[in-house]
Amino acid sequence: MHIKQITKQLLTLLCLGLFTVTVHAQDNTNHNKFRQLYEELPTPNVYRTAAGAPGHKYYQQRADYDISVRLDDENQRIYGEETITYTNNSPDPLDYIWIQLEQNMRAQHSDTKKISTGSISDRMSFGRLERMHNDFDGGFKIDYVKDDKGKNLPHIVNNTMMRVDPPRAIKPGQSFSFKVKWWYNINDRMEIGGRSGYEYFEKDDNYLYTIAQFYPRMAVYNDVEGWQNKQFLGRGEFALPFGDFNVKITVPSDHLVSATGILQNKKEILPEAKRDLLKKAETAEDPVIIYSQDEAIEREKDKAADTKTWHFKAEDVRDFGFASSRKFIWDAMGVPFGDRVVMAMSFYPKEGNPLWEKYSTEVVAQTLRTYSRHTFDYPYPKAQSINAADIGMEYPMICFNYGRTNEDGTYSERTKYGMIGVIIHEVGHNFFPMIVNSDERQWTWMDEGLNTFLQYLTEQEWERDFPSRRGPAPSIVDYMKGDKDNIMPIMTNSESIYQFGNNAYGKPATALNILRETVMGRELFDYAFKQYAQRWKFKHPTPADFFRTMEDASAVDLDWFWRGWFFTTDHVDQAIDDVKWFRVNTQNPEVEKPLAEKQQEQAPENISTVRDDDMKMVSQTAVEREAELEDFYSNYDPFKVTVLDKQDYDQYLSNLDQEEKELLNAGYNYYEVTIRNDGGLVMPVILKFTYADGSTEVKRIPAEIWRLNDQEVSKVFYTRKELTNIALDPNLEIADTDRDDNYWPKREQPTRFELFKRQSRNSENKMQRARQAEEMDS
């Protein structure tokens, strides 16, 4: 064909719109739900392998900190100085480095404030309007940035990020030390919120400080993002390199301090009796009270004027947090890991008791045990749970958890299980992302999802039928069947996610639980998940590293699963479309002819025949009237078994071998079951058969049954027994959003509806209410 002709034809096709049809057809082939994730995942390289492991040239940066801070309990301020030693292990010379200043989110002109949206409504709480008026003077006030010889370093602050320019590029393998001095106003957590801050107790005029993001921190530089210097807007959390911390914290002398790392000046800080109690706690079977509630109440009363400096050191942590208050009660218990003892500890005010002294430290210990079994032995020397109202927030070795009781010492079931759940969750964060150090600024699900999954396993190990909020498949159904305009794929940046909790916690946790119980099985899943944790502990994994490891270590192709659950907003909805029942025609006239006769007798009658018979409209047919119109066929009995029929049967049998003859006469029932996929997600098909004799059987079919047609599939099952009913997804494991169509025969299960009498009092009737009020006044 000539080129001009081709162009002309193409134009015609375009004009007719036919061209789009061709393109569409091509698109369809690309929409196969089992196609590999080559386009979605980055190409493997020397830093990260196709197997999901760190590559042979994998590197990561390091940041070591020397920090001194003073907590000003009079003005609620932090004053600090630090030396950061940054080591460049990358193959790239670095002309500048980025430092994170998260406190600047609370600065008066922060982007967080500028981009916050809002509206005024007819009814508003004072709190909401107060938050709009909030003029808290937050943010780091940087006094200086100097090199280790005391010379000022050029630097520029861009919102929550600060660029520091070293005198010359930091070459691969080189370290660079510099000093920063700063101070900031601590936020009132109860008034304006925040992951860290203070809580004020009016009754005894005391403060409880939970302090984090309190020092300028190095950003991550790596092979994936370059510098991860995406601004901190408040939701997408943190990306931090590992390092050693040497931290001195000066507080009022009657405060107790809990922090990341090991206390270095125990002898200076703690009386001998308290040190002995801590020693005793190491091998105790139950938590040992180090500082009691009575002691805490005493300290609350007389406030010391002098200060003490607590000195902590921590190795290979990505961050540092601490808590300080004169209200703290302190208990501790050792948790053995081989020949090591990890200290599980809790710090809480009397407002948390009696709930906290009973549960907190025990829950910390159980969390370390369960998580370690699924990942690696908890490597740090301690894990602490701090009581802080209305929050759950994690840092290495320390976390802040809610759970307060009524003054009479009672508490609701919701408070109890909420508190246990949040402690498990926040202590669990030590594993993800504190040790398996993913980039939270980019992907919330990588730590929250994996952590919520293990939280669920831990809750179920803590107490049988623990009321877990997230994890089991049915708990995510309402979210997944919701309005798709209000749902984002899990693989969405932290700042842009709708329905944060469902998206980044609930759905990935459920997905992992389904992988474990339904798609892979516990043995394959647990090995692969552990492999991921082991490969990436004390390193920086990405989503692809997780997806690839889970496949590589299990020989289960999971691209369809990641694609459906993590890259789309599709939901699961399977249905039993049809069930057909077959039996083999034996060809034996003595069996088949009587059956056929019975069938004909039972066949429904045509309406005209019925009416003609009933109303005798045709009293006699022509043939009935005139006998000579009859012939052979008039009285032929097709169901009569003849010698010739038997001969034919013998002939048929003589052509069959033994195996074929057995199959012919085995008496199997064949059921052709048609399953519809009404949702978008392909999932395994799980069918529970109930037979006429009352016995049951579960058939588990891998998701690949949908590989050629993801809308509808048929499958034949054979059995000597007769089926009475089939249930699809009998144990609620695939998050099916509509279960009404999961039964054959369709299940008649009445939904109970409520009847009520109309209440005579109508609070909406303003006139009536005004009259009533008038009567009551007079």
List contacts with Zn ion (CB under 5 A). Answer: 448
Minimum CB distance to Zn ion, residue 526 (Å) = 22
Q: Tokens representing 512? A: 């992992």
Kind and range of the H or E run holding 712: strand 712-719
Q: Which among 372, 246, 366, 266 has a CA at the least distance from the CA of 313? A: 246
Q: For residues 228 and 455, which CB has a smaller minimum distance to Zn ion in the complex?
A: 455
Minimum distance between the CB of residue 403 and Zn ion, rounded to whole angstroms?
Answer: 16
d(CA 184, CA 134): 17
Pairwise CA distance, residues 198 & 196, whole Å:
7
Task: Look up residue 171 and give its DSSP letter.
Answer: -
CB of 451: closest distance to Zn ion in angstroms?
6
Where do we find the tokens 């607590």?
310
Identify whether 354 is preceded by a cis peptide bond (ω within 30 of 0).
yes
Q: How far is the CB of 446 from Zn ion (least distance, A)?
A: 11
* Closest CB to Zn ion among residues 81, 394: 394
Report, in Å, the least distance between residue 509 CB and Zn ion.
Answer: 11
Question: Which lies closer to Zn ion via its Cβ, residue 449 or residue 564?
Answer: 449
Tell me the closest approach of the beta carbon of residue 505 to Zn ion, in angstroms: 7
> φ, ψ for residue 358 (rounded to 5)?
-80, -40
For Zn ion, the closer of residues 221 and 400 by Cβ is 400
Sorted by sequence, the CB contacts under 8 Å of residue 259 that are 6+ apart come out as 247, 249, 310, 312, 320, 321, 322, 323, 397, 398
Q: Which residues pair with 152 in a beta bridge?
A: 146
CB of 105 to Zn ion, least distance (A): 19
Q: Between 346 and 451, name the residue whose CB sits nearer to Zn ion.
A: 451
Comparing CB distances to Zn ion, the nearer of 277 and 364 is 364
Take residue 555 and report the two structure tokens written for it. Answer: 């020989």
User: CA 718 → CA 82, 663, 742, distances in Å?
Assistant: 74, 12, 20
Strands (E), 606-684: 669-677
Q: Classify residue 338 as exposed, middle or buried by CB count within 10 Å of its CB (0-12, 13-18, 19+).
A: exposed
Least distance from Zn ion to the Cβ atom of residue 183, Å: 29
Cβ 423 to Zn ion shortest distance, Å: 12
Q: How far is CA 524 from CA 376, 558, 705, in A?
A: 17, 12, 20
Closest to Zn ion by CB, 90 or 513: 513
Rounded Cα–Cα distance for residues 478 and 55 (Å): 41
By beta-carbon proximity to Zn ion, the closer residue of 384 and 574 is 384
Rounded to a whole number of angstroms, the minimum distance from the CB of residue 384 to Zn ion is: 16
* Structure-block tokens of residue 664: 């012919």
CB atoms within 10 A of CB 464: 6
Least Å distance between CB 350 and Zn ion? Answer: 27
**Among 111, 173, 184, 191, which residue's Cα sits nearest to residue 143?**
184
Is the CB of 87 or the CB of 430 nearer to Zn ion? 430
166 vs 392, beta carbon nearer Zn ion: 392
Cα 265 to Cα 259: distance, rounded to the nearest angstrom = 13
Helices (H), 379-462: 413-428, 445-462
CB nearer Zn ion, residue 332 or residue 386: 386
Cβ closer to Zn ion: 448 or 736? 448
Is the peptide bond preceding residue 433 cis, with omega within 30 degrees of 0? yes
Q: How far is the CB of 453 from Zn ion (least distance, A)?
A: 12
Quick one: which of 367, 422, 366 has its CA closest to 392?
422
Nearer to Zn ion, 448 or 545 (CB): 448
Least CB distance to Zn ion at residue 394 (A) = 6
Half-sphere exposure of 672 (CA within 13 A, CB side): 7
User: Rounded to an integer, what is the distance from CA 316 to the centroid of its chain?
Assistant: 27
Please state, in angstroms and rounded to a whole number, the distance separating the CA atoms of residues 457 and 525.
Answer: 14
Measured from each CB, the residue nearest to Zn ion is 448
Q: Is the peptide bond before 745 cis (omega within 30 degrees of 0)?
A: yes
* Closest to Zn ion by CB, 145 or 504: 504
Task: Say if residues 22 and 14 touch (Cβ distance below 8 Å).
Answer: no
Choice between 258 and 444, CB closer to Zn ion: 444
Burial category of 205 from C-beta neighbours within 10 Å (exposed 0-12, middle 13-18, buried 19 and up): exposed
Q: In whole angstroms, what is the distance from residue 717 CA to residue 729 CA?
A: 17
**Radius of gyration of the chain from its Cα atoms, rounded to whole angstroms:** 36
CA-CA-CA-CA dihedral for 26, 31, 35, 41, to nearest 10: 100
Instruction: In angstroms, give the least distance from the CB of 432 to Zn ion.
Output: 9
Long-range CB contacts (within 8 A, 24+) of 651-658: 652/587, 653/587
CB of 352 to Zn ion, least distance (A): 20
